[in-house]
């Protein structure tokens, strides 16, 4: 909200204004029409392909090395142990440098070591838990104890920046932004997994509809029961976020790991005219499908994703590689960025 001091009212800009008459209710003036004037920016990243304008990141710090993470690393989804903090910071700086070089406005979550509801919060640098749609943010309710209630961090920071909070998932609903993949502004896939349940999806559905989403497709992802391999994802570990196995990289072009997706959803994508590049498991396990589009046909991808990169180049996709030697703490280019403002991007309809 702009400070009043030094400003003058532009009477001609006030809807339904008539001098000397009472102010009329502006029931027919849309929130989006007043968003920038009232909240400072036209918040919204309801696309995975529109040109990225503003993004939130987090530079990892001491919160990555809580003593509890060393006592039971598997419980905290760190089966290979907590990360080397310096290496992790260098890796994250590489991502931030790419974003800045591309002229993207980068802001920081600015979180410090934080106690959640039950434990120290894990995975704070993976800021994709929240979702910013046209008009403002949906605050997540994460499914596992080590991430409750990480939504408080997003609420405080986004509100501080002036981004409206449109909804906070609550009750027994669980919803994490990593399960959201946009085909375009009106078509979205949402993964149902160990991290997002049907209650969470049902809670956010009317918010998405109000933002102009016409089709919301649930996608079933395999998960774990009680045993985990040494890798964080794949095999008995399953895939808890859709963005680990599917990313849009250009208009009607995506990268996918088919065994992680129910076949009906694969068929749905093909019927929508999406060409699908198949990714090998070994590269998926190292975040090869976690591809961040900066704009249609221009992406950031982990440098070790050699076979995926080769296929992308054949499709004339411009590839920017990110060195990611410290993978133990998880998170690829998508996981570690929260788009705040994007252009709408291409439409499939």
Task: Specify the pLDDT at position 166.
Answer: 98
Is the pLDDT at 138 greater than 60, yes or no?
yes
Task: Specify the pLDDT at position 238.
Answer: 83
Q: Where are the domains of the chain?
A: 40-342
Task: Specify the pLDDT at position 94.
Answer: 96
Mean pLDDT on 87-104: 96
pTM, two decimal places: 0.94
Query: The domain at 40-342 falls in which architecture?
Result: 5-stranded Propeller (3.75)
40: left (phi over 0), alpha (psi -120 to 50) or beta: left
Task: Specify the pLDDT at position 30.
Answer: 94
Name which of 31-45, 75-89, 101-115, 178-192 the model is least confident about: 75-89
Distance CA(319)–CA(245), nearest Å, equals 18
Is the pLDDT at 5 greater than 90, yes or no?
no
Give the end-to-end CA distance of the chain in Å, rounded to a whole number.
Answer: 36
Task: Specify the pLDDT at position 279.
Answer: 97
Closest among 175, 190, 203 to 265, alpha carbons compared: 190
Mean pLDDT on 50-56: 97
Q: Is the peptide bond before 348 cis (omega within 30 degrees of 0)?
A: no
Query: At 301, is the pLDDT very low, low, confident or very high (cuts 50, 70, 90)?
Result: very high
Percent of the chain scoring above 70 in pLDDT: 96
Distance CA(99)–CA(269), nearest Å, equals 29
Instruction: Look up tokens 């029961």; give the residue.
Output: 225
SS3 content of the chain, % helix, strand, coil (to 5): 30, 20, 50
Question: Over the stretch 164-194, which tens digit does the pLDDT of each residue have?
Answer: 999 999 999 999 999 999 999 999 999 999 9
Closest among 129, 281, 346 to 289, alpha carbons compared: 281
Distance CA(232)–CA(280), nearest Å, equals 16
Name which of 8-17, 90-99, 219-228, 338-347 the model is least confident about: 219-228
Query: At 23, is the pLDDT very low, low, confident or very high (cuts 50, 70, 90)?
Result: very high
Name which of 69-73, 197-201, 248-252, 333-337 the model is least confident about: 69-73
* E-assigned strand segments in 96-164: 105-108, 131-133, 136-139
Task: Specify the pLDDT at position 112.
Answer: 80
Question: Over the stretch 211-266, which tens digit does the pLDDT of each residue have?
Answer: 999 999 999 999 887 776 656 677 767 899 999 999 999 999 999 999 999 999 99
């Amino acid at each position: 909200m702009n400070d009043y001091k030094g400003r003058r009212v532009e009477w001609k800009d006030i809807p339904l204004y008539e001098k000397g008459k009472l102010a009329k209710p502006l029931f027919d003036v849309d929130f989006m029409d007043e968003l920038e004037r009232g909240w400072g920016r036209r918040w919204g990243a309801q696309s995975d392909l529109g040109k990225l304008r503003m993004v939130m990141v987090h530079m990892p710090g001491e919160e990555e090395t809580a003593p509890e993470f060393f006592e039971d690393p598997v419980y905290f989804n760190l089966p290979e142990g907590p990360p080397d903090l310096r290496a992790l910071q260098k890796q994250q700086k590489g991502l931030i440098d790419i974003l800045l070089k591309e002229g993207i406005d980068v802001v920081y979550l600015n979180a410090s070591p934080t106690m959640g509801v039950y434990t120290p919060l894990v995975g704070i640098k993976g800021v994709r838990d929240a979702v910013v749609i046209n008009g403002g943010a949906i605050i997540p309710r994460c499914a596992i104890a080590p991430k409750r209630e990480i939504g408080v961090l997003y609420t405080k920071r986004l509100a501080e920046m002036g981004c409206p909070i449109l909804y906070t998932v609550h009750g027994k609903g669980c919803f994490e932004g990593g399960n959201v993949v946009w085909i375009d502004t009106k078509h979205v896939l949402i993964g149902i997994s160990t991290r997002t349940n049907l209650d969470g999806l049902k809670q956010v559905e009317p918010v998405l509809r109000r933002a102009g989403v016409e089709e919301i497709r649930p996608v079933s992802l395999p998960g774990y029961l009680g045993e985990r391999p040494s890798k964080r994802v794949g095999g008995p570990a399953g895939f808890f976020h859709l963005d680990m196995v599917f990313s849009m990289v250009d208009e009607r072009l995506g990268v996918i790991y088919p065994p992680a997706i129910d076949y009906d959803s694969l068929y749905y994508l093909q019927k929508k005219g999406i060409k699908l590049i198949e990714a090998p498991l070994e590269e998926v396990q190292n975040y090869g499908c976690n591809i961040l589009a900066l704009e249609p046909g221009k992406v950031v991808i982990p440098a070790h994703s050699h076979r995926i990169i080769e296929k992308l180049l054949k499709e004339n996709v411009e590839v920017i590689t990110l060195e990611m030697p410290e993978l133990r703490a998880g998170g690829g280019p998508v996981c570690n960025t929260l788009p705040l403002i994007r252009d709408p991007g291409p439409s499939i309809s």
